[in-house]
Amino acid sequence: MLLSGAEIVIETLKLEGADTVFGYPGGAALPLYDALYGSSIRHILTRHEQGAAHAADGYARVSGKAGVCFSTSGPGATNLVTGIATANMDSSPLVCITCQVTWELLGKDSFQEADVIGITAPITKHNFIVKDIDELAKTIKKAFFIASTGRPGPVVVDVPKDILIKKTEFKAPEPFASLCGYEPKYKGKTTAVTAIAKALSAAKRPLLFLGGGVVIAGAQKEALALAQKINIPVICTLMGMTAFPTNHPQHLGMAGMHGSYAANMAITECDLLVGCGVRFDDRVTGSTADFASKARIAHLDIDPAEINKNVETHFKAVGDLSWSLPLLIENTHPGKIEPWWQQIRLWQQEHPLSFDTKSKEIKPQEVLVELDKLVKGEAVLVTDVGQHQMWTAQYCTMTKPRHFITSGGLGTMGFGLPAAIGAQIACPEEEVWLITGDGSIMMNCQEMATAAELKLPIRVAILNNRGLGMVRQWQRFFYNTHYSSSRHEPDMDFANLAKAFGCTGIRVDEKKDLPAALVKARSIKGPVIIDIRVDNDEDVMPMVAPGQALAKMIE
């Protein structure tokens, strides 16, 4: 069958099972959008390419399938960059088809030309530029393969406009199990796992440390089974919050800069730390010299480059967690760790999470406690970046994998709203909440129009503290309370902004109105934006100053 390059892109996407694409058209992309016209693929027109990248990312994180986005050349492609980098840091599978100027114009600083391959090389798992139309289908197939196998990540395919227009005989690309320089390995050395099992059975103060890798591997059941078999205390990273039910009695909470007291003390005092699908990021370790300094560290991960990258490990097991965790369960036996649990219970009793519940103003934590009462761990919770993100991780119950979507690695403000749109499209039956701040929402608020157009029932709770809460917190702690450029003036009326975009807007000023507003938001069919006026001086507690030892928590 003679097809144009653009038609080949569409046909190959269908063969890969991609039914939804997020994107934004433009000059170089016109042939692609023409092929899209009338095809069975659903295209979501975001209002900014950055929104398309985050929405595809949100879609991928909730569904586990690669998210797809389209952009035009030049600025269209460069607008994807923040979204690609966000997906890369959090190992989210993304296939971005960026259209490029024609081969004839390439390299001549032509209109809307940008070196997309050069720009995206450091922030992708891999990228391609298509030179030959007969390589196009195979290249897109490779892109899906690389994006969604092994440790997932974003892949960019840059397609010049002339390749989109040219015609060739289309043949469905042959399936493959590996590429010349890329062969994901899921099974590692059994002896590596049994060595960890032996150490774990003998440990007096063991600690299980779960990260986003557990969620990606779909190994929550295995993590739970392991924890229950040996009654080991469990802590999670921000990305791993849905790796283990937060309401489970063995869960000590999140670890790191805003982790719970018990979790951080457990890291400091444990004698064996078993990290699964974690990458020992600086926000989790604090000072690496003091991190788990009394412990031997075991590291289980699919990416060999993560072993010994940030902290030195004593045991390593490279492989997929759904391979290694069952082996670990089989070979580990419960040890005598009662004194360890007594110590941990004491930390928990003496240093629980707390905030002032009697304040006249609405405390931001209170919003999350109220929301948690309503959704009971069933909803997909999406966040932006900042204080609200930490409070969501601290105060919301999370029981279902892939139900907490947040930009952990890159910390991208503006991620939330488009990611929530992608999440809602991936799972139309689920209740999706975005918890955001007045700083973050402004970074991609144009996507309210996308949500309104699609009548997506996403609920957006803006914890509005009239400025940049986390920046102000650091300014209070470390910069003599100099509020340099961290206040938003004049006051922003988000309920009216929402209405202007075609969403429902609700404003909450009084504490007494909060529960009813949340209940009302749940009953509305389309997108709802709730502007909640919260105390603007609240700190996220506890806190470990950057680069400090985890035991040195400010409470």
Partner 1 sequence: MRHVLSVLVENRAGVLARVAGMFSRRGYNIESLAVGTTDKKDISRMTIVVEGDDRVVEQVIKQLHKLIEVLKVSNITNEEYVGRELVLFKVMADPTQRAEIMQIVDIFRAHIVDLNKKTLMVEATGDDKKLRAIEEALSPFGIIEVVRTGKIAMVRGQKSHLE
Active-site positions?
49, 111-112, 161, 470
Place of tokens 């529960």: 515
**172, 202, 289, 305: residue in contact with partner 1 (rule CB under 8 A):** 305
**47, 54, 65, 125: residue in contact with partner 1 (rule CB under 8 A):** 125
E strands of 344-494, at which residues? 380-383, 404-405, 432-437, 459-464
Buried b (16+ CB within 10 A) or exposed e, 250-279: bbbbbbbbbbbbbbbbbbbbbbbbbbbbbb
Which residues 6+ apart lie within 8 Å of 512 measured at CB?
none
Stretch touching partner 1 by CB under 8 A, among 278-286, 300-308, 381-389, 525-533: 300-308
Q: Is 111 in the site for partner 1 (CB under 8 A)?
A: no
Which residues 6+ apart lie within 8 Å of 287 measured at CB?
547, 548, 549, 550
28 or 307: CB nearest partner 1: 307
- Determine contact, residues 55/86, Cβ cutoff 8 Å: no
Q: Is 459 in the site for partner 1 (CB under 8 A)?
A: no
- Determine contact, residues 61/419, Cβ cutoff 8 Å: yes
Q: Which of 435, 345, 364 is nearest to 398 (CA)?
A: 435
Q: How far apart are CB 91 and partner 1 at their closest, in Å?
A: 12
303 or 431: CB nearest partner 1: 303
Q: Which two tokens stand for residue 377?
A: 């761990």
Q: How far is C-alpha 532 from the geometric centre of its chain's CA atoms?
A: 24
Stretch touching partner 1 by CB under 8 A, among 75-83, 238-246, 297-305, 328-336: 297-305
**180, 481, 484, 523: residue in contact with partner 1 (rule CB under 8 A):** 180
Stretch touching partner 1 by CB under 8 A, among 30-38, 64-72, 173-181, 375-383: 173-181
122 or 490: CB nearest partner 1: 122
8-state DSSP, 388: H
Q: How many residues of this chain bind partner 1 (CB under 8 A)?
A: 18
**17, 38, 118, 428: residue in contact with partner 1 (rule CB under 8 A):** 118
Rounded to an integer, what distance in angstroms lies between the CA atom of residue 546 and that of residue 322?
33
20 or 149: CB nearest partner 1: 149
List binders of partner 1 among 312-351 (CB under 8 A).
312
Stretch touching partner 1 by CB under 8 A, among 8-16, 113-121, 279-287, 323-331: 113-121
Rounded to an integer, what distance in angstroms lies between the CA atom of residue 193 and that of residue 328?
6
Stretch touching partner 1 by CB under 8 A, among 8-16, 156-164, 302-310, 416-424: 302-310
Q: How far apart are CB 348 and partner 1 at their closest, in Å?
A: 36
Q: How far is CA 356 from CA 286, 322, 541, in A?
A: 27, 42, 12
Q: Which of 378, 180, 205, 400 is nearest to 292 (CA)?
A: 205
Q: Is 289 in the site for partner 1 (CB under 8 A)?
A: no
Q: How far is CA 531 from CA 362, 509, 516, 517, in A?
A: 12, 8, 14, 10
* Contact string 130-159 vs partner 1 (x = CB under 8 A): ----------------x-------------
Q: How far apart are CB 182 and partner 1 at their closest, in Å?
A: 5
Q: Are strands 20-23 and 67-71 parallel, antiparallel or unpaired?
A: parallel
Q: How far apart are CB 297 and partner 1 at their closest, in Å?
A: 15
181 or 428: CB nearest partner 1: 181
Rounded to an integer, what distance in angstroms lies between the CA atom of residue 311 and that of residue 307?
8
Q: How far apart are CB 122 and partner 1 at their closest, in Å?
A: 5
172 or 305: CB nearest partner 1: 305
Q: Which two tokens stand for residue 43?
A: 């295209």
**42, 111, 121, 176: residue in contact with partner 1 (rule CB under 8 A):** 121
Stretch touching partner 1 by CB under 8 A, among 115-123, 164-172, 262-270, 435-443: 115-123
**48, 65, 126, 141: residue in contact with partner 1 (rule CB under 8 A):** 126
**303, 431, 453, 539: residue in contact with partner 1 (rule CB under 8 A):** 303
Q: Which two tokens stand for residue 555?
A: 């409470």
126 or 507: CB nearest partner 1: 126
Rg (CA), the chain: 24
For the chain, the first-to-last Cα distance in angstroms comes to 68
**308, 359, 485, 496: residue in contact with partner 1 (rule CB under 8 A):** 308
Rounded to an integer, what distance in angstroms lies between the CA atom of residue 160 and that of residue 32?
11
The helix (H) or strand (E) run that includes residue 347 is helix 338-350
Q: Which two tokens stand for residue 145?
A: 């393969």
156 or 471: CB nearest partner 1: 156
**111, 176, 182, 479: residue in contact with partner 1 (rule CB under 8 A):** 182
Q: How far is C-alpha 385 from the geometric centre of its chain's CA atoms?
A: 11
112 or 149: CB nearest partner 1: 149
**45, 117, 329, 374: residue in contact with partner 1 (rule CB under 8 A):** 117
Q: How far apart are CB 132 and partner 1 at their closest, in Å?
A: 13
303 or 513: CB nearest partner 1: 303
**Where do the H-state alpha helices sit in 98-176?**
116-120, 133-148, 161-165
Q: Is 178 in the site for partner 1 (CB under 8 A)?
A: no
- Determine contact, residues 35/167, Cβ cutoff 8 Å: no
Q: Is 177 in the site for partner 1 (CB under 8 A)?
A: no
The partner residues of 381 in beta bridges, in order of sequence, read 404, 433
Q: Which residues bind partner 1 (CB under 8 A)?
A: 117-118, 121-122, 125-126, 146, 179-182, 303-305, 307-309, 312
